[in-house]
């Protein structure tokens, strides 16, 4: 399998790279801004892993990734749009750059990568979009993150039909709070949540079984029922039953 994983330097993306590279005959391109973190990951998977440092908040970064995938892999069986970031602050307190960067990374870049790599993906290939269970509620403390991920959720439900016409499968992933550097970088420290390796395993299982949706933990699928209510939620989505 030839795969591309964005957000590969930590959290879900890093764990997914490890899983893919633990299997035979896989080649994985991992994308992140931190070249150091990518090179550290490569130390453990020299034959499987190809690091591509790129800033996916910039069009130049997207173009770099597309070029590297075409040159290094030639074709693509699995595209995992995992990169994303958020900030714990009010919408009107975000800087212009934060608003633009978050919209690009969380919403526009996954669509651009799908569009630009589509012609090297054969029927039977899979595109994964890591979204968030937070699209079913109002994330008061992560409002721009929630808005951009909701936009991706909306678009992907349409893209799914467009790609199915080409024989390409789409898997959407809806995690709750995951214990990764995401929250600390966003300005909030969480103590409870699902482990990134659990999400990575669920994604890989979903890819192999051609699932349409994956929720981690599984009980978060009930969030779909709450959509019309648009419940306000403070802090991250709870991932442990009380």
SS (H, E, C) 190-226: CCCCECHHHHHHHHHHHHHCCCCEEEECHHHHHHHHH
How many angstroms separate the CA atoms of 199 and 237, rounded? 15
Cβ neighbours, 10 Å, residue 70: 15
Residue 217, preceding peptide bond in cis (omega within 30° of 0): yes
What are the DSSP calls for the chain, one per residue? Answer: -EEEEESTTSHHHHHHHHHHHTSTT-EEEEEES-HHHHHHHHTT-TTTEEEEE--TTSHHHHHHHHHHHHHHTSSEEEEEE------SS-GGGS-HHHHHHHHIIIIIHHHHHHHHHGGGEEEEEEEEEE--GGGGSEETTSHHHHHHHHHHHHHHHHHHHHHHTTT-EEEEEEE--B-SHHHHHHT---S--B-HHHHHHHHHHHHHTT-SEEEESGGGGGHHHHGGG--EE-SSPP-S--
Beta bridge partners of 32: 53
Domain borders along the chain are 2-233
Specify which residues 4 forms β-bridges with: 29, 79
Right CATH for 2-233 from 3.40.50.720, 3.10.105.10, 3.90.1150.10, 1.10.20.60: 3.40.50.720
For each of the chain's 242 residues, which pLDDT tens digit applies?
A: 999 999 999 999 999 999 999 999 999 999 999 999 999 999 989 889 999 999 999 999 999 999 999 999 999 999 999 999 999 999 999 999 999 999 999 999 999 999 999 999 999 999 999 999 999 888 889 999 999 999 999 999 999 999 999 999 999 999 988 877 676 666 666 667 789 999 999 999 999 999 999 999 888 888 777 665 455 556 665 544 43
């Amino acid at each position: 399998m030839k795969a591309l994983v964005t957000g590969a330097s930590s959290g879900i993306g890093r764990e997914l790279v490890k899983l893919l590279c633990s299997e035979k005959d896989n080649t994985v391109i991992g994308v992140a801004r931190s070249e150091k973190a990518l090179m550290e990951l490569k130390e453990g998977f020299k034959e499987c892993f190809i690091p591509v440092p790129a800033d996916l908040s910039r069009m130049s970064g997207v173009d770099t990734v597309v070029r590297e995938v075409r040159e290094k892999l030639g074709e693509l069986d699995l595209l995992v749009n995992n990169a994303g970031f958020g900030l714990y602050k009010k919408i009107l307190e975000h800087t212009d750059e934060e608003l633009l960067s978050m919209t690009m990374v969380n919403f526009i870049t996954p669509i651009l990568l799908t569009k630009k790599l589509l012609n090297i993906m054969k029927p039977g290939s899979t595109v994964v979009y890591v979204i968030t269970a937070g699209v079913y509620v109002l994330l008061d403390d992560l409002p721009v993150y929630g808005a951009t991920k909701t936009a991706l959720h909306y678009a992907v439900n349409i893209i799914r039909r467009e790609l199915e016409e080409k024989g390409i499968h789409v898997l959407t992933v809806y995690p709750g709070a995951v214990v990764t550097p995401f929250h600390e970088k966003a300005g909030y420290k969480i103590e409870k949540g699902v482990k990134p390796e659990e999400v990575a395993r669920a994604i890989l299982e979903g890819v192999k079984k051609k699932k349409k949706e994956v929720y981690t933990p599984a009980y978060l699928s009930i969030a779909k029922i709450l959509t019309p209510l648009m419940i306000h939620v403070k802090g991250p989505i709870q991932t442990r039953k009380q």
